[in-house]
Amino acid sequence: MIVHGWRRFVRHLRFGAVAYAVLAISILFALLCYFYVRQGIEAQNEERFQEAVLVSERALERRTTAYVDALVASRAFLAASENVRSEEWEAYISGLDLDDRYQGFESLGYVRYLDSAEEVEEADLTDTSNVPLRGPSGGESVLAPVEFVGPSNFVSRELLGYDLFLEEEHREAMEAARDSGEPRATSRVYVLGENDSPDGAALTLRPGFFVYLPVYADGPEEDANNTGPATPVERREEIEGFVFGSFRMDGLLSGLTGEEVRPALDFEVYDGEGTDTARLLYDGDGVVRASEETFDPRYSHRSQTSVAGRDWSLYFATLPSFDLVSGSASLPNLALAFGLAVALALFVATWLLSASREKAEEASVKLEEANRNLEVANRELEAFSYSVSHDLRAPLRSISGFSQILAEDYEEVLDREGVMYLERVRGASHRMSELIDDLLLLSRVTRAPIERSSVAPTAVAREVVSELEARDPEREVLWRLAETPKTNCDRRLLRVVLENLLGNAWKFTSQEEQATVEFGAEERDGVPAYYVRDNGAGFDGRYAGKLFGAFQRLHTAEEFEGTGIGLATVARIVRRHGGEVWAEGEVGEGATFHFTMEPPKRPRRTESP
C-alpha cells in the first residue's frame, strides 16, 4: 500500500509539476503587482500630503499678512485725519467688510497710550460717543483704553473704553510693538465673539490673539516696514497709541486646508515652540494629537511660522481616512485579488490539461493546443509584470517585433488561424502604442503651463493642412480656410486642437468622392468661436455629449481608426483656456465642431421661447 501511494504521489507530481510552477510564478507576479501598486499609491498620498501642507502654510502666511496690512491701512487712516470721531471710525470699519473679507477678524480699533500721570489726568477719558472709558482702579501711571473699535456690535461695545494694558499678554505685546516700531501679537488669549452654532449662548469665548501696531506722533504710517523714530527711547517718547485687531483662530484658519483633505487631515497650531496643550491655539477637529505618544500617523509634519513677531508651531498629520479621500486605497488589494484570480485560473487550466493528457492519448491534439494557449497566457502575464516593473513602451515594441518575426520566419509552420492571431496581436500592440501616446499627450496638455499670446488660428490651420497633405499626396480635399480673428491663447496647444479637429475631418471624409473641409469663425459672447466643418460620415446628434469623453467613439475601429482620446484632449485644452467646445452633426451629412479659446466677454443672452 505504501508503494502504491508513493507511485500515485510521483505520478501526481509528474503531471502536476507544471501547474504548481505556473501557480507559484503567477502568485509571485501577483505579489509584485501588489507591492508596486501599493508603493505608487503611498508615494502619491505622500505627495498629496506635502502639497496640502505647503498650500496651508502659504495660505496662512498670505492671510495673516493681509490682516496685518489691514492694520497698517487703518493706521494710515488715523494719520490722515487730525481728529477721528467714533462715527467716522465705524464708517471706515463698515467699508472694510470684515465679516466677508477677513474671516476671524473680530474687531479693529484704536488704543490711546497714556504713559504718565499728567497725561492720564489731562486725558479726556470719555469717548466721543459719551461712553465712559474704563481705566484701572488704582493709581497706575500708564493707561491704554480702547478709544475706537468696530464693527458696531455687542462684542465691540464690551471692549470700548476697556484698559487693555491691565492684562499681562496685552501689555507685553504693546511694549514690544512700542519699542520695535513693528506689529506685535499677543500670546494666546480668549476672544469674545458671536456663537456661530444655533445652540447655546449668543456669545462665546474662543482661543485667539490680538495684534498691536504702534502709532507715533510723526508719520508716515502707511508702510508696514516703517518703524517710526530711530531708537526705542525716541519711540517711547513719540508713542501716541496702537491700532489693534482681535482675531479668533477658528475663523482665521477656516477653510485653510481645503475641503478635499480637511476631514482627513489633523491641523493644530500652538503658541510658541513645542506642542504643549496649554498653548494650543487651534485644533481642526477638537482632538489633540501632536503631544499624544500613542498616535502614529502615516504622514506628519511640524514647522514654525511667525505672525506679527510671534512664533507659532504648526502640526499636520494624516488621519486614517486620508487614504480613502484619494479613492485609491483599495487598488492594491484589487490588483492582488485580480492577480490571484488569474493565478488560480491558470493553475486550474494547467492542471486540467495535464490530467487530460494522462487519461487519453487521443486528446493529445487538444492538449497541445491548450499548452499553446497556456504559453500565450504566460507570455501575457510576463509582459504585464515587466510593464509593472519597468515601462509600457518597450514591451509593446517587443510584441510587435517578435510578431513580425514569427509571421515572416514561421509562415509555413503556422496555419491560417495562427497567422490571423499574429496579425491581431500586431494590430492590438499598434493600437495600444497609439493609445499610450494619446494618453501621454492628454496628460501633458493637462499639466503644461499655458503661455498666452496673440495667435492667428488660420496660419496654424494652414500648417496642419500642409502636414496632412504631405502624408497622403494622392488625396484630393477641397480646403476652405477663411481668415479668422486672432485669439489670445497658447499657440502650441491651439495647434494640438487643430491637429485633432482637422485630422478628424481628413479621416472621416476619406470615403467621400469630393471631400470638403472648412475652417472659419463666428462671434459668440464677445469672442471668436472657431469651427471645423466637413461633409464626411457625421454622427448621430443625440450622442454629441459623449464625443468629448475619453475612450468614447461613435464609429468602430474597422470603419475609422482611432483611440477615442483626441476629442477629449481638445476638450481639456479648450476648457483650460476658459473656452467652450461643442459639436453638431447628422449621420452621413458631415459634422461641425465649434470651439472658443477665451472666456466669454459678456454674459450669454437667453433666447425667449
Whether the bond between 151 and the residue before it is cis, its omega within 30 degrees of 0, is yes
Domain extents in the chain: 15-80+329-389, 81-252, 257-325, 391-447, 450-595
The pLDDT > 90 percentage for the chain reads 18
At 385 the pLDDT is 41
At 470 the pLDDT is 87
3-state secondary structure 353-408: HHHHHHHCHHHHHHHHHHHHHHHHHHHHHHHHHHHHHCCCHHHHHHHHHHHHHHHH
Mean pLDDT, range 30-47, rounded to an integer: 83
Whether the bond between 263 and the residue before it is cis, its omega within 30 degrees of 0, is no
Per-residue DSSP letters for 94-160? HHHTHHHHSTTEEEEEEEE-B-SHHHHHHS--B-TTSPBPB--SS--S-B-BEEEEESSSHHHHHHT
pLDDT at 183 over 90: yes
**Cβ proximity of 109 and 147 under 8 Å:** yes
Task: Return the percent helix, strand and coil in the chain, to nearest 5.
Answer: 50, 20, 30
User: What's the rounded Cα separation, in Å, for the pair 408 and 396?
Assistant: 19
Kindly indicate the confidence band of residue 609, based on its pLDDT and cuts at 50, 70 and 90: very low
Q: Which of 490, 390, 393, 481 is nearest to 432 (CA)?
A: 393
Task: Catalogue the long-range contacts made by 15-22 (C-beta closer than 8 Å, 24 or more residues apart).
Answer: 15/354, 15/355, 15/357, 15/358, 16/351, 16/354, 18/350, 18/354, 19/347, 19/350, 19/351, 19/354, 20/347, 22/343, 22/346, 22/347, 22/350, 22/374, 22/378
Kindly indicate the confidence band of residue 344, based on its pLDDT and cuts at 50, 70 and 90: confident
- b/e map of 55-67 (b: 16 or more CB within 10 Å)? ebbeebeebbeeb
**Cβ proximity of 572 and 519 under 8 Å:** no
DSSP 163: B
Q: Specify the pairing of strand 105-112 against strand 239-248.
A: antiparallel
Instruction: Specify the DSSP element, H or E, that contains 265.
Output: strand 265-271
Q: Which of 76, 125, 96, 111 is nearest to 243 (CA)?
A: 111
Please provide residue 524's backbone torsions phi and psi, each rounded to the nearest 5 degrees: -145, 120
User: What's the rounded Cα separation, in Å, for the pair 583 and 539?
Assistant: 10
CATH class of 450-595: alpha beta
3-state secondary structure 244-263: EEEEEHHHHCCCCCCCCCHH
* β-strand partners of 211: 185, 245
Predicted TM-score of the model (pTM): 0.51
User: What is the per-residue pLDDT across 97-135, written as a single tens digit (0 to 9) for each?
Assistant: 887 888 888 889 999 888 754 555 555 544 443 344 444
Query: What is the tally of helices (H) and strands (E) in the chain?
Result: 16, 17
Kindly indicate the confidence band of residue 507, based on its pLDDT and cuts at 50, 70 and 90: confident
User: What is the per-residue pLDDT across 151-171, written as a single tens digit (0 to 9) for each?
Assistant: 878 777 778 888 888 899 999
Range in 62-71, 157-166, 170-179 with the lowest mean pLDDT = 157-166
* β-strand partners of 237: none
User: What's the rounded Cα separation, in Å, for the pair 503 and 227?
Assistant: 65
- Computed from CA positions of residues 179, 183, 189, 191, in that sequence, does the dihedral angle turn out positive or negative? positive
List CB contacts of 263: < 8 A, sequence separation 6 or more.
Answer: 319, 321, 325
3-state secondary structure of 228: coil
Mean pLDDT, range 348-359, rounded to an integer: 75
3-state secondary structure of 547: coil
**81-252: CATH architecture:** 2-Layer Sandwich (3.30)
pLDDT at 243 over 90: yes
User: What's the rounded Cα separation, in Å, for the pair 71 and 459?
Assistant: 53
User: What's the rounded Cα separation, in Å, for the pair 378 and 384?
Assistant: 10
User: What's the rounded Cα separation, in Å, for the pair 269 and 301?
Assistant: 12
User: What's the rounded Cα separation, in Å, for the pair 30 and 251?
Assistant: 49
User: What is the per-residue pLDDT across 200-224, written as a single tens digit (0 to 9) for each?
Assistant: 566 778 899 999 999 998 755 555 5
At 386 the pLDDT is 41
3-state secondary structure of 591: strand
